[in-house]
Every structure is written in C-alpha cells, then in structure tokens.
C-alpha cells in the first residue's frame, strides 16, 4: 500500500523485542510510544523539534487519546506509523494509524494535543504557524 497518499507523514518502524510482554505481543502502552516518536519526527521534519520548543517554554501535552486496537504486533514485525494533523479550536488533533506492510490495520488513534507556554494553556499559534501547510480536515 502507498500510505503517503492518505497521510501527511509516514515512519517505517520495526518491533523491538523488549517492547513485547509475556503474551508475546507488543504491550498496549508501547503504541503510545510509537505514536509520540512519530509526532516528534514529524515536527522535526516540519522544522520544529520538541527540544527546541521546550527551550522556548512551549510544551505540547496530551489532553485526550482514543485508540482502537485491531491487530497485535509481534516479534520482527515491520509496520508503518502514519499521521495526519488537523486544528480544533486551540488544540491539534493528530490522526495516527499504524499498519502492517500489507495494509492490515494495527491500531487507529486520535490524539488531541494542547499547547502549554510556561505552564499555561495557549492558542498554540507558534505551532499553527509551523504546521499550517500540513493541516487537514477531520
């Protein structure tokens, strides 16, 4: 499948065995790690790293997460971590879906991010400027 037709950013990743739990499948919490790493790589590709934001006093934080789990990842699995981004008032919505190479959906998530500046909620204009050309409708 050509994921980059449907998503703004696609990161190919491989399961690391320490991410598996005693059931032999990736532990449920690690999908949030995969998605966080994908958001950070996307932001870096858009010219704005989280380290730079943090130094400027800007800290994006999660306000809401919804995840559907479809197909558990196992040892050696390669997968594609795909991302789209939209604006909802002062918040960002990241659509983050993971797939196997053959198109099997692994998880589908909707991650809502708010923007703190020096600890206070803001309209996130710095990020909107950086992301404006990537915003889609959801």
Q: Which residues bind a second copy (CB under 8 A)?
A: 16-18, 20-25, 27-30, 32-33, 36-37, 40, 44, 49-51, 54, 59, 61-69, 72, 74-76
Write down the least CB distance from residue 8 to a second copy, Å.
20
Write down the least CB distance from residue 104 to a second copy, Å.
16
Rounded Cα distance, 4 and 74, in Å: 24
Backbone torsions φ then ψ of 34, nearest 5 degrees: -55, -45
Rounded Cα distance, 50 and 55, in Å: 9
The one catalytic residue among 21, 68, 125, 129: 21
| Overall residue count recorded for the chain in this entry | 138
Contact call for residues 116 and 122 (beta carbons, < 8 A): yes
Nearer to a second copy, 1 or 57 (CB): 57
Write down the least CB distance from residue 132 to a second copy, Å.
23
Report strand pairing: 91-100 vs 105-117.
Answer: antiparallel
Question: Is 77 annotated in the active site?
Answer: no
Nearer to a second copy, 39 or 84 (CB): 39
Nearer to a second copy, 62 or 100 (CB): 62
Rounded Cα distance, 87 and 132, in Å: 9
Q: Which residues are catalytic?
A: 21
């Amino acid at each position: 499948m050509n994921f980059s037709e449907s998503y703004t950013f696609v990161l190919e990743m491989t399961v690391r065995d320490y991410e598996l739990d005693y059931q032999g499948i990736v532990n449920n919490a690690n999908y949030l790690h995969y998605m966080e790493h994908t958001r950070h790589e996307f932001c870096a590709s858009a010219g704005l790293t989280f380290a730079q934001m943090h130094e400027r006093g800007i800290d994006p934080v999660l306000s809401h997460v919804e995840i559907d789990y479809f197909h558990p990842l196992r040892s050696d699995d390669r997968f594609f971590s795909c991302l789209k981004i939209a604006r909802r008032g002062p918040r960002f919505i990241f659509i983050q879906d993971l797939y196997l190479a053959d198109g099997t959906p692994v998880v589908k998530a909707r991650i809502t991010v708010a923007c703190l500046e020096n600890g206070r909620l803001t309209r996130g204009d710095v990020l909107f400027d950086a992301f404006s050309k990537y915003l889609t409708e959801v």
